[in-house]
Each structure stands twice: as structure tokens, then as C-alpha cells.
Amino acid sequence: MYSSETKVRVRYGETDQMGYVYYGNYAMYYEVARVESLRQLGLTYKELEDSGVMMPVLENRSKFLSPALYDDELRIVITIRERPSVRITFAYEIFNQTNQLIHQGETLLAFVNKTTGKPCRPPEHFQNVLKPFFE
């Protein structure tokens, strides 16, 4: 299992009229956490795409426990529980600055060859970086 953390601060434009983070913005927080999590491993989405592999989202789930508010500092814990194959699942827990769990989510992504549009295995470098976490 692999886990990492990323922090984001809620900006005014991400909130609705009630001052809560608009529900659609959680998908953006997921993406920020995914990108930073891979970066912490020494991987980048840009490198993946340059190597000919894309990672489109197949499924996106969210469970809202409490609202995030303007100017909250959110801590996003991202976990990969299973070794990736043609697909990879990221689980998310979002905590506010008082360490209250306010949100849970999950995304399922596929590895896709940019040229053919067909599912493929993750690049070897990607697999090698994650391998120690699943032995």
C-alpha cells in the first residue's frame, strides 16, 4: 500500500453561496493530490504522457461528511491500496485544519496508449517505483 499527503487552501472562488466548497471542486482536489502524490514518488503526469500513456478517469465517487469552508487548509491523504495493472484506484480522505475527516472519495483510472487509445499496462518505470509498496 502506498500513501501520501497534500495540502490545499480553499479559495473563495471554490465556494458556493453558502460558503461551502462547491461539490464539483472535490474532483479538482483529487487531481491535485494524485499529481502531487506521483511527484513525491519521482513520477510526473507529463512524463507519463511523454512516454505515450494517458490516465483517463473511469469512475469518481465522493462522500461528503462535513463541508469545507473558504480559507480552510485541507489535508488530502491519498492511498493506493492495490498494485496497479491496466487500472489504478486512488482513495482519498480529506481533513480540515482541526483534523476532522470531512470527505472521502475514490477514483478509478485506466492506463491508455495515446496512439492506439487502447488500455495498456503502466510504464515499467511507474511499476518499478510502486513495486516496493506492494511486496
pLDDT in tens, 3-31: 999 999 999 999 999 999 999 999 999 99
Whether the per-residue pLDDT at 108 is higher than 90: the answer is: yes
Separation CA 18–CA 21 (nearest Å): 9
Mean pLDDT over 49-54 rounds to 94
Q: How many of the other CB atoms lie within 10 Å of CB of 99?
A: 7
Instruction: Say what the pLDDT of residue 85 is.
Output: 94
Is 61 inside any structural domain?
Answer: yes
pTM across the whole model = 0.93
Q: Which residues of the chain form beta strands (DSSP E)?
A: 2-9, 53-54, 57-64, 73-80, 87-95, 101-110, 112-113
Helix (H, G, I), strand (E, B) or coil at 124: helix
Is 60 inside any structural domain?
Answer: yes
Is 113 inside any structural domain?
Answer: yes
Binning pLDDT at 50, 70 and 90, where does residue 121 land?
A: very high
Binning pLDDT at 50, 70 and 90, where does residue 84 land?
A: very high
Separation CA 76–CA 68 (nearest Å): 12
Mean pLDDT over 78-83 rounds to 96
Whether the per-residue pLDDT at 79 is higher than 90: the answer is: yes
**CATH number of residue 22's parent domain:** 3.10.129.10
Is 71 inside any structural domain?
Answer: yes
Is 135 inside any structural domain?
Answer: no
Separation CA 106–CA 79 (nearest Å): 9
- Counting the structural domains of the chain, the total is 1
Is 62 inside any structural domain?
Answer: yes
Separation CA 36–CA 21 (nearest Å): 21
Q: DSSP character for 16?
A: -
Is 86 inside any structural domain?
Answer: yes
Is 91 inside any structural domain?
Answer: yes
Domain span at 44: 2-126
Helix (H, G, I), strand (E, B) or coil at 29: helix
Separation CA 55–CA 107 (nearest Å): 11
Whether the per-residue pLDDT at 135 is higher than 90: the answer is: no
Instruction: Say what the pLDDT of residue 92 is.
Output: 98
Residues 6+ apart with CB under 8 A from 128: none
Whether the per-residue pLDDT at 67 is higher than 90: the answer is: yes
Separation CA 66–CA 10 (nearest Å): 14
Instruction: Say what the pLDDT of residue 69 is.
Output: 97
